[in-house]
Amino acid sequence: MEELRKVKCTVSYDGGNYGGYQLQENFVTIQQVLEEALKKVIKRPVRIYASGRTDAGVHARGQVFHFQTPVILPEDRWPLAMNCLLPEDISVLAATYVPDSFHARFDVKEKTYRYCLWNRRIPDVFLRRYSWHIPYALDLEKMREGAQYLIGEHDFTSFCSVKAVVEDKVRKIYDIAIEEQNDGEVWFTFRGKGFLYNMVRIIVGTLVNVGAGKIQPADVRRILEGRERTLAGKTAPAQGLFLWEVKY
């Protein structure tokens, strides 16, 4: 029986041209492209397992996946071998050998997502693929106040897509930061153990309503406790969201 080694990889990608991370029949996906590249390196089909899925249009700075291989390369050669076969909007940043017990999804301790708004009246041509354009003024301090109601362990049914198949909607958010950078960019940073389907994007949409004065910061608590998707704001567009980091 041949010996297989498990490899953990960190990958970044621009999700704008893909139908999401996970394999699908009718769309080109990140997983599909990575597996096709690895097949050429290993000379046989290979299945990769990621820390989680990202939706169509969502980006990643630090997605993590693992795979098993009989081919043994130096760790620093794996990114080079894959990147020469990948399109320019996907890049493997690092690879390390890990114990057989490691699993990219089930061993996650913390995930960080970031979301970018462009908060100026005039659109920014170069940020349009990586941010949500909000042309009206936002009160960031009120948004921060509203975000505090979401810190901790809660049932996030109100902030989860109705398409989600999981029954347990309880998740734990460690921190939410909202900062203005580069004169117009507003960055949300979410740290948590795990997130529900569209959870970050719905929270962003709700906090934008707070910042615009459509609802008050304390209404975020009411929305959370209501456990009803229709209470929360719109789902923010996919292109502003980044899976930033995964910790194990």
pLDDT digits (tens, 9 = 90+) for 38-62: 999 999 999 999 999 999 999 999 9
Question: Following DSSP, what letter does each residue of 187-243 receive, concatenated?
Answer: EEEEEES---TTHHHHHHHHHHHHHTTSS-TTHHHHHHHHT-GGGS-PPPPGGGEEE
What is the reported pLDDT for 166? Answer: 87
Burial per residue of 6-33, b for 16 or more beta-carbon CB atoms within 10 angstroms, e otherwise = bbbbbbbbbbeebbbbeeeeeeebbbbb
**pLDDT digits 0-9 by tens, 151-196:** 999 999 999 999 888 889 999 999 999 999 988 999 999 999 999 9
- What is this structure's pTM? 0.95
Using the predicted structure, report yes or no on whether residue 1 has a pLDDT greater than 70. no
- Which residues are part of the catalytic machinery? 55
Confidence class for position 238, pLDDT limits 50, 70, 90: very high
Using the predicted structure, report yes or no on whether residue 2 has a pLDDT greater than 90. no
**pLDDT digits 0-9 by tens, 195-211:** 999 999 999 999 999 99
Structural domains of the chain in order of their starting residue, each with its CATH number: 5-98 (3.30.70.580), 110-247 (3.30.70.660)
Confidence class for position 106, pLDDT limits 50, 70, 90: very high
Using the predicted structure, report yes or no on whether residue 139 has a pLDDT greater than 80. yes
What is the average per-residue pLDDT within 62-89? 98
Percent of the chain with pLDDT over 90: 96
